[in-house]
Amino acid sequence: MRGRLAVQVAGFIRSLAPEPRRTVRLALRELEKGKGDIKPLEGPLQDYCRLRIGPYRVIVRYGKPRTIECVFAERRNIVYEIFADAMVERLMRDE
């Protein structure tokens, strides 16, 4: 599989200290191999999955054949709320 990072995800990774940054990058490489703590989300986020990396979460979506889109990343305690709000706002604009 091939991974694609959204601009927000790349920026989040760059903002991390060196050791967490290394851990997140390694986890994303493993994700491309089909490995990692991945769980499908429920409710309005049912088209997405989360990748758990210690205190961080990366929201992913399986896209075109053999492509994983990393669409959002943040600390565990706020990731789902912020991502859900962003998705609602995006849907409202698209209507």
- With 0.85 as the threshold, say if the pTM is over it: no
State the fold for domain 2-94: YaeB-like fold (3.30.2310)
Task: Kindly state the tokens that stand for 74.
Answer: 């943040």
Closest CA to 83 of 63, 65, 56: 56
Q: Specify the amino acid at residue 73.
A: A
pLDDT in tens, 11-24: 999 999 999 999 99
Q: Which of 87, 31, 88 is nearest to 62 (CA)?
A: 31
Q: Is beta strand 2-5 parallel, antiparallel or unpaired with respect to 67-75?
A: parallel
pLDDT digits (tens, 9 = 90+) for 52-69: 999 999 999 988 788 899
